[in-house]
Amino acid sequence: MKKLIAIIIGIIFLFNFILVPAQNDTSSDFDKAKQEEQKLVLELLNLEVERLKTQKSLDDLTIEIENLTVAIQEKYKEIQMVDKDIENEKEIVKTWFRFLYMDGTNAILSLLLMSQNSSELLHRLIYIDIVTNYFYNKLENLNKLVKYKREEENRLTSQRLQLIEKQKEQIELLKKIDELRLAKSQMLDEIKKKIADYQKIFAMADNLGKMFPSLDYLLSHLSQFPWDTLEYKDLSFSFFNVSASFTDVDVTKMIRSYSDKLKDLTVSFSKEGFEIKDDDLYTLKGNFVIEDNKIKLLINSLNIGDIKISGQLLQKILYGYDTTINIKIPVEGFKLKKVEAEEGYVKFTLEK
């Protein structure tokens, strides 16, 4: 009855302090975590859509800027060509005026006075006016063309600068989206870790029904196992002491043959002490101590999956169990002096 109470206390203690608590708060936290996970996944999906849109807009802007750059370069070439035409026309005008005025300002007057009559004079005046106006009009039109092309160049340059600013904004937006996406991804990873932890707790809770009956049976019968049937290895005698040992393989066979409930149990010895493992349900670890000329298992930890139980909680679970090993002393008049665990076996030293 006392052992059963200890098991119940252990289960209650586990559920209250380890499972936090599994039946109410953990389920509630798990549901919240799942909701938060779904929310973060939707937010990440939305960010991915925004990122794709922004990237497409950025690509379009880049293409448009490249096209405008080409157009500006073409306008610049056109302006250079018109400027060259203007210079050519100016040279033609200069040549014409040199011909018209000859060597001085009086040349045109002399040319006009050479007219034979008023009709010839009028024709010469009209001719001079036509030719002069033609070149001046041509120069004016060329200047207007240059002005128009410069305005076009300035407009395209201004448009390009605006697009470059917009491109910078899109790049900054893309950077912010990536930063936010990274932050959300990290949050999602944390949520997934929490969910994984909760699932481990639920899995452990599902195994509690299997674990505690098996653990209870082991601890209840630990001192009753037929330890005296074990065959001693390396038995040696001297006048003052006796030493003997038995292997973890023999101990495992003995315990498994004791009951089908312990058929998956494995015992192993090492320099650190002993380990008793029941498949994937639980693992007990500890050392050997001597009390009243008897060997006792001092259990230091109980592992359930990835969770290690020790301290007061472990003491509550172990309370009421007898962990004494009743081995047979091979020689009368000797007492247990030392117990040493080694890799694969445990050695006993007895003295008078």
Confidence of residue 123 (pLDDT cuts 50, 70, 90): low
**Structural domain includes residue 11:** no
Asked if 65 and 137 sit in the same domain, the reply is yes
Confidence of residue 284 (pLDDT cuts 50, 70, 90): very high
State the pLDDT at residue 6: 46
Taking only the tens place, the pLDDT of each residue in 187-215 is 878 888 777 776 666 665 555 556 677 78
Instruction: Give the mean model confidence (pLDDT) for residues 318-323.
Output: 87
**Structural domain includes residue 195:** yes
Asked if 89 and 230 sit in the same domain, the reply is no
Instruction: Give the mean model confidence (pLDDT) for residues 295-318.
Output: 83
Taking only the tens place, the pLDDT of each residue in 5-58 is 444 444 444 444 444 444 456 667 777 777 877 777 777 777 777 887 888 888
Provide the residue range defining the domain that includes 253.
225-351
Q: How many domains does the chain divide into? A: 2
User: How does DSSP assign 51-119, residue by residue?
Assistant: HHHHHHHHHHHHHHHHHHHHHHHHHHHHHHHHHHHHHHHHHHHHHHHHHHHTTSTHHHHHHHHT-SSHH
Q: What is the mean pLDDT of the chain?
A: 77
Query: Is-contact 283 277, C-beta < 8 A?
Result: yes
**Structural domain includes residue 344:** yes
**Structural domain includes residue 209:** no
How far apart CA 312 and CA 132 sit, in angstroms, is 116
Asked if 38 and 165 sit in the same domain, the reply is yes
Return the percentage of the chain with pLDDT > 70, whole number. Answer: 76
How far apart CA 325 and CA 144 sit, in angstroms, is 114
Asked if 36 and 131 sit in the same domain, the reply is yes
Asked if 190 and 240 sit in the same domain, the reply is no
Asked if 244 and 333 sit in the same domain, the reply is yes
Q: Which of 136-140, 152-156, 274-278, 290-294 has the lowest mean pLDDT?
A: 136-140
Residue 275 pairs in a beta bridge with: 268, 285
State the pLDDT at residue 143: 77
Contacts of 21 by beta carbon, 8 Å cutoff, 6+ apart: 15
- Res 260 pLDDT > 80: yes
- Res 273 pLDDT > 90: yes
Asked if 39 and 182 sit in the same domain, the reply is yes
Q: What is the CATH number of the domain that holds 152?
A: 1.10.287
User: How does DSSP assign 173-208, residue by residue?
Assistant: HHHHHHHHHHHHHHHHHHHHHHHHHHHHHHHHHHHH
Asked if 85 and 43 sit in the same domain, the reply is yes
- Res 315 pLDDT > 90: no
Confidence of residue 287 (pLDDT cuts 50, 70, 90): very high
Give the closest residue to 288 by CA, choosing from 241, 341, 248, 335.
341
State the pLDDT at residue 230: 84
Asked if 80 and 172 sit in the same domain, the reply is yes
**Structural domain includes residue 216:** no
The helix (run of H) or strand (run of E) holding residue 41 is: helix 25-101
Taking only the tens place, the pLDDT of each residue in 124-181 is 566 667 767 777 777 787 778 778 878 888 888 888 888 888 888 888 888 888 888 8
State the pLDDT at residue 16: 44
Query: Which residue do the tokens 């006993």 mark?
Result: 348
Instruction: Give the mean model confidence (pLDDT) for residues 102-106.
Output: 48
**Structural domain includes residue 184:** yes
